[in-house]
Amino acid sequence: MKMDSEQVKLGIAPIAWTNDDLPELGRENTFEQCISEMALAGFTGSEVGNKYPTDPKVLAEKLELRGIKICNAWFSTFFANKPAAETIKNFIKHRDFLSAMGAQVIGCSEQSASIQGQDKAIFTEKPVFTETEWQKIAAGYNKLADLAAEKNMKVCLHHHMGTGIQTPAEIDKFMQLTNDNVYLLFDSGHIYYSEGSQAAVENLLNKYIKQIVHVHLKDVRPEIVARVRAEDLSFLTGVKMGTFTIPGDGVIKFEPLFKILAEANYQGWMVVEAEQDPALANPFAYAVQARKFIAEKTGL
């Protein structure tokens, strides 16, 4: 399935080099090494990691040397369990930084009561929002979408393991409650991890294809997920064991996903985001392998 390189750009996340949730993973890898290897592997976009300069001018200069652009950066919202004004204040600062970097989307995750960074069983201890909490979340995201529009940007929800918006039913609820200018960040790895089937991945992509403005390409090793489930392990324990990997290295079939995106005339970034322990999975080697796989399957 051929994709149009004018419409679809390829990025890779720094989490393979230095992990924000587990700083000990990749502590030895520098920011300069990370973005240099991204460029060398053939990627033109990056999300933002914890070692990236926070001054837009400094960051832009270093990225421009390597032909890399910033396409998104994670933002945590806490509408369900904290005052909305707190999240909104932080969002405006985050929005302005991303706007200065030329990004057009802002990937957000509702982190109220999230267990993704805690030592809790990822499958049995995730939060479930009350109806009142859902209303707060929807109102909050509707406000963020309007604030993003002020800078000609789009807000998209990153459905994520360990959060209250993880399953297809929860994603449906979120999308139903929010306005049409609240979009979705599609993450192949997180929906497969949650539901355990190729059908769930394709169904989510098909259902919201017109509302998807950013794509995370990650694969899953099902034998690790099975162990995480059987032993009631945490999300981060699973990451260290190798739950995630690059597209083409796990169980997910990406050809149907690329077909859905191409036929819907998707425009935006596809970002390889496969957090692993860089001591076990050399980030540069995996980046090269991922880039080759995407080229073979999409022509990009």
- Give the pLDDT score at 1: 79
- Give the pLDDT score at 18: 82
DSSP at 249: S
- Give the pLDDT score at 29: 84
Q: Which two tokens stand for residue 124?
A: 């049995």
- Give the pLDDT score at 14: 95
Q: Which two tokens stand for residue 232?
A: 């009631």
Q: Residue 252's closest CA among 300, 160, 190, 171?
A: 190
Q: Which domains does the chain have, with CATH numbers?
A: 8-298 (3.20.20.150)
- Exposed, middle or buried, 215 (CB in 10 Å: 0-12/13-18/19+)? buried
- Give the pLDDT score at 276: 87
| Adjacent-strand bridge partners of 217 | 272
CA–CA distance, 40 with 36 (Å, rounded to integer): 6
- Give the pLDDT score at 279: 87
Our CA angle for 87, 69, 71, nearest 5°, is 35
CA–CA distance, 66 with 230 (Å, rounded to integer): 44
pTM equals 0.97
| Adjacent-strand bridge partners of 72 | 47
Judge contact between 154 and 106, C-beta under 8 A: yes
* Radius of gyration of the chain, Cα coordinates, nearest whole angstrom: 18
Our CA angle for 190, 94, 22, nearest 5°, is 45
CA–CA distance, 274 with 283 (Å, rounded to integer): 9
Q: Which two tokens stand for residue 7?
A: 């419409």
pLDDT in tens, the chain (300 residues): 799 999 999 999 999 998 777 777 767 889 999 999 999 999 999 999 999 999 999 999 999 999 999 999 999 999 999 999 999 999 999 999 999 999 999 999 999 999 999 999 999 999 999 999 999 999 999 999 999 999 999 999 999 999 999 999 999 999 999 999 999 999 999 999 999 999 999 999 999 999 999 999 999 999 999 999 999 999 999 999 999 999 999 999 999 999 999 999 999 999 999 888 888 899 999 999 999 999 999 999
Q: Residue 190's closest CA among 206, 205, 201, 175?
A: 201
- Give the pLDDT score at 20: 74
